[in-house]
């Protein structure tokens, strides 16, 4: 259990300053190291073995050769300082090592020592650093205080992407036997059981049956949760948290009602019962590919025509930006539809051409705002227009609720702040980091609650939903203040027989 800590006092979102530095404030924050039982099934060494230092540098060299971006990020930083106050973890913890430039320099200092002439000849003069246990420990702690949200890269005049540096660092640590328990245990479950939760098919079937009963009891309409249906038009790939947790499951119910109302045949899959792809968080291309290939196999086996992703932030980044490379070509799918599509895109399209009917009174009394998920906002797009990832979720929410307001412009769309739990940090031992990292979002939320009477915040990512459920009570809010976007659709949708 994590040590007690003080919940930060929230400031004014319109007057956010650079916090007074507290050096070493988060030096002790780290996730659990993965045990051999969680490392070895992924092909990583179980523990640090003799000679790991050399192996780490060798792996760094490989990554620098493979990813030109990483090489450029190492050489191009001019220390302008534009990124320093853009990271939620720095703003929430005041630890200067959580400034993006400082985080990147953890990697860069080792790069300099082994890959530049100056660093080889006079390391002390150029801030070059040996790869040793002390360096590794600092890497482990601070590369697990980055949620790979990429907000800093929006403000970097050179476009340095700290997320990519964090991913590379984590990949190196896995390769030498110092992985992170949370991510690697979960990836193991995806390979062994099919999803992050470790929900075996019989449990999944039982859960879905229960949901069908609930929906029929609530609406009087037999809305289905089909699974492994051959020849269905749409394969829905959604985070396994949608089957398990609240408010996630209310979103899943929303998807089912939309498919029902639109008359679209759809199916879930026991094989691809997970949209999430933690291979990205650990920066491991092979894992990312293996996890993605399950979706291809499921789509082929079931003979579907389209693939739609449920509300999951990083899954959508992998799906939208990388899926074709990882698991394509998708020439067996219906070419009239984008591969893949987002459920919000699907629902929004139906709303705009009146394919489904919404009655806002289903959400009476609610005033909504929306939290843009980092990987949706900065790692992908949605629909066929630039900025669709911002307008589509808002259009769906507006169509479903009586009142919607946005939070402060510095905290939404491409400038959105991470929820504080992204990038493989949604684990209990990091709760202090998660609470502190949520401060910028909580400040912006507080402002709209006070000024506009906001009652609920919609999220479109399983991690954001779980993180907010956990941390909202620290700031005096009800945990049920966070809702799924499709939960709102679910409350508003008019099902045929109910008309």
Partner 1 sequence: MAYTSNGATIEADEEGYLINITEWDEGLADQIAKDEGITMSPEHWEVVNFLREYYSEYQIAPAVRVLTKAIAKKMGPDKGNNKYLYELFPYGPGKQACKIAGLPKPTGCV
Name the site residues for partner 1 (rule: CB under 8 A). Answer: 1, 32, 181-182, 185-186, 189, 195-200, 202-203, 206-207, 210-211, 214, 239-241, 243-246, 248-249, 276, 312, 426, 428-429, 462-463, 465-466, 470, 479-480
Q: How far is the CB of 376 from partner 1 (least distance, A)?
A: 14
| Whether the Cβ atoms of residue 394 and residue 404 lie closer than 8 Å to each other | yes
**277 in helix, strand or coil?**
coil
Q: How far is the CB of 483 from partner 1 (least distance, A)?
A: 13
| Phi, psi for residue 268 in degrees, rounded to 5 | -90, 175
Rg (CA), the chain: 23
Smaller CB separation from partner 1, 96 or 200: 200
Smaller CB separation from partner 1, 168 or 426: 426
| Phi, psi for residue 307 in degrees, rounded to 5 | -125, 130
Smaller CB separation from partner 1, 284 or 427: 427
**346 in helix, strand or coil?**
helix
| Phi, psi for residue 235 in degrees, rounded to 5 | -95, 120
What is the DSSP code string of 71-101? HHHHHH-----TTTT--HHHHHH--GGGSHH
Residue that is written with structure tokens 């684990």 in the block = 427
Smaller CB separation from partner 1, 1 or 78: 1
Residue that is written with structure tokens 């808002």 in the block = 394
Q: How far is the CB of 192 from partner 1 (least distance, A)?
A: 11
Q: How far is the CB of 436 from partner 1 (least distance, A)?
A: 19
Smaller CB separation from partner 1, 149 or 358: 149
d(CA 310, CA 322): 17
Residue that is written with structure tokens 């269905």 in the block = 232
- 288: its two tokens: 């990312």
Q: Name the burial class of residue 494, with classes exposed (0-12), middle (13-18) and buried (19+) by CB atoms within 10 angstroms of its CB.
A: middle
Smaller CB separation from partner 1, 130 or 213: 213
Q: Which helix (H) or strand (E) holds 237?
A: strand 234-237
DSSP β-bridge partners for residue 237: 309
Q: How far is the CB of 32 from partner 1 (least distance, A)?
A: 5
Q: How far is the CB of 183 from partner 1 (least distance, A)?
A: 10
Q: How far is the CB of 210 from partner 1 (least distance, A)?
A: 6
Smaller CB separation from partner 1, 244 or 404: 244
């Amino acid at each position: 259990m994590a040590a007690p800590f003080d919940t930060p006092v929230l400031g004014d979102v319109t007057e956010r300053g650079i916090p007074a530095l507290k050096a070493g404030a988060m030096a002790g924050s780290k996730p659990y190291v993965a045990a051999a039982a969680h490392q070895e099934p992924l092909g990583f060494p179980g523990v640090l073995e003799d000679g790991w230092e050399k192996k780490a540098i060798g792996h760094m060299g490989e990554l620098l050769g493979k990813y030109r971006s990483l090489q450029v990020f190492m050489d191009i930083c001019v220390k302008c300082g534009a990124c320093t106050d853009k990271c939620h973890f720095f703003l929430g913890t005041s630890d200067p090592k959580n400034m993006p430039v400082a985080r990147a320099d953890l990697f860069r200092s080792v790069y300099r020592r082994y890959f530049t002439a100056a660093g080889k000849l006079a390391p002390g003069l150029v801030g070059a650093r040996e790869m040793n246990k002390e360096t590794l420990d600092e890497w482990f702690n601070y590369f697990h205080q980055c949620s790979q949200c990429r907000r800093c890269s929006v403000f970097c005049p050179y476009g340095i992407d700290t997320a990519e540096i964090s991913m590379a660092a984590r990949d190196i640590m896995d390769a030498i036997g110092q992985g992170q328990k949370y991510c690697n245990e979960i990836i193991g479950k995806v390979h062994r059981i099919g999803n992050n939760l470790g929900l075996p098919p019989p449990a999944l079937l039982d859960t879905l049956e229960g949901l069908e009963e609930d929906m029929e009891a609530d609406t009087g309409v037999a809305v289905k949760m089909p699974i492994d249906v051959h020849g269905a038009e749409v394969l829905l790939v959604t985070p396994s948290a949608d089957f398990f947790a609240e408010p996630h499951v209310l979103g899943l119910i929303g998807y089912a009602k939309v498919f029902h109302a639109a008359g679209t045949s759809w199916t879930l899959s026991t094989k691809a019962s997970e949209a999430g792809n933690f291979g990205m968080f650990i920066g491991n291309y092979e894992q990312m590919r293996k996890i993605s290939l399950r979706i291809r196999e499921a789509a082929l086996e079931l003979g579907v025509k389209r693939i739609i992703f449920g509300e999951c932030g990083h899954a959508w980044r992998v799906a939208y930006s990388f899926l074709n490379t990882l698991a394509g070509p998708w020439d067996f799918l219906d070419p009239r539809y984008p591969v893949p599509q987002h459920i919000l895109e699907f629902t929004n399209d139906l709303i705009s051409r009146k394919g489904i009917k919404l009655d806002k009174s289903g959400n009476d009394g609610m005033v909504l705002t929306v939290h843009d998920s980092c990987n949706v906002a900065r790692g992908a797009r949605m629909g066929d227009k630039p900025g669709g990832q911002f307008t589509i979720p808002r259009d769906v929410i507006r169509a479903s609720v009586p009142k919607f307001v946005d939070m402060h412009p510095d905290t939404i769309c491409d400038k959105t702040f991470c929820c504080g739990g992204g990038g493989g940090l949604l684990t209990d031992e990091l709760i202090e980091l998660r609470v502190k990292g949520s401060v910028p979002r909580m400040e912006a939320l507080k402002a709209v609650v006070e000024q506009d009477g906001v009652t609920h915040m919609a999220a479109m990512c399983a991690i954001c939903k779980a993180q907010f459920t956990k941390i909202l009570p620290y700031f005096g809010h009800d945990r049920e203040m966070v809702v799924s976007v499709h939960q709102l659709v679910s409350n508003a949708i008019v099902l045929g027989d109910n008309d």
